[in-house]
Amino acid sequence: MVSFGLKERAHEKEISLRFLFLAIFFWILTLTWIAVIFHFSNQNAGESSDLSHVVLKLINELFNTNIQDDTLLRKVAHASEFALLTIISYLALSSTNKISNKTSYAESPVKLMRSDNEMNIIFTLWFSITNSIFDEYHQLFVPGRDGRIIDVLIDLIGIIVVLIIIRLGFTIYLKTKGRTEVVYT
């Protein structure tokens, strides 16, 4: 008897529905966040400056400060928006890799890294940096804005800090569980 139920087909292909749904969720979240970044980058110089002043005013009121220059705020915002993109895209890539054992990096004939986690980190790094570069390139076409390499480097700081935290967190998690990372040979 041939069964066409989703559960039966998932079992035949060894697909994890949990990770399939997580991957879809995190990819939607990733693409949504990229759209938000695009929206912020698409604001002309005046709109962007106005938004920075509103946020700076809010920070001054919340923390009872009198900061006038928004340069640091803008740089922290740059690093933070790409740090968040890094977290979400890492979760999307990690979930995608876990959908099926048959499609994991472990089955790849090319072993560039030693483990799935390292592959996820490398792909996330590439994905986030690529988005940062395209974001700055896009700003070249927005009135009053400019694309700057220094902003890509600031984004890179946020990206790398998050990836280091992910790597350390993963290592600590494995140690507390008494497990070791699966390493390809």
Cα distances (angstroms) measured from residue 177 to each of 69, 122, 157, 174, 182: 47, 24, 30, 5, 14
Q: By percentage, how much of the chain surpasses pLDDT 90?
A: 68
Condensed to tens digits (0 to 9), the pLDDT of residues 118-135 reads 889 999 999 999 999 999
Indicate the burial class of 49 (C-beta count within 10 angstroms; 0-12, 13-18, 19 or more).
middle
- Rounded to the nearest 5 degrees, what angle is found at the Cα of 146, between the Cα atoms of 42 and 76? 75
The residue to which tokens 């040979």 are assigned: 185
Average pLDDT over residues 32-48: 95
> CA end-to-end span of the chain, whole Å?
41
Q: What is the pLDDT of residues 71-126, one digit of tens each?
A: 999 999 999 999 999 999 999 999 998 888 765 555 665 555 567 888 899 999 99
What is the pTM for the complete model shown?
A: 0.84
d(CA 58, CA 11): 52
The reported pLDDT for the residue numbered 10 is 47
Tell me: pLDDT of 8 over 90. no
What's the confidence (pLDDT) of residue 3?
A: 45
Q: Which residue has the higher pLDDT, 98 or 12?
A: 98
* Cβ contact 42:143 at 8 Å: no
What is the model's pLDDT at position 12?
53
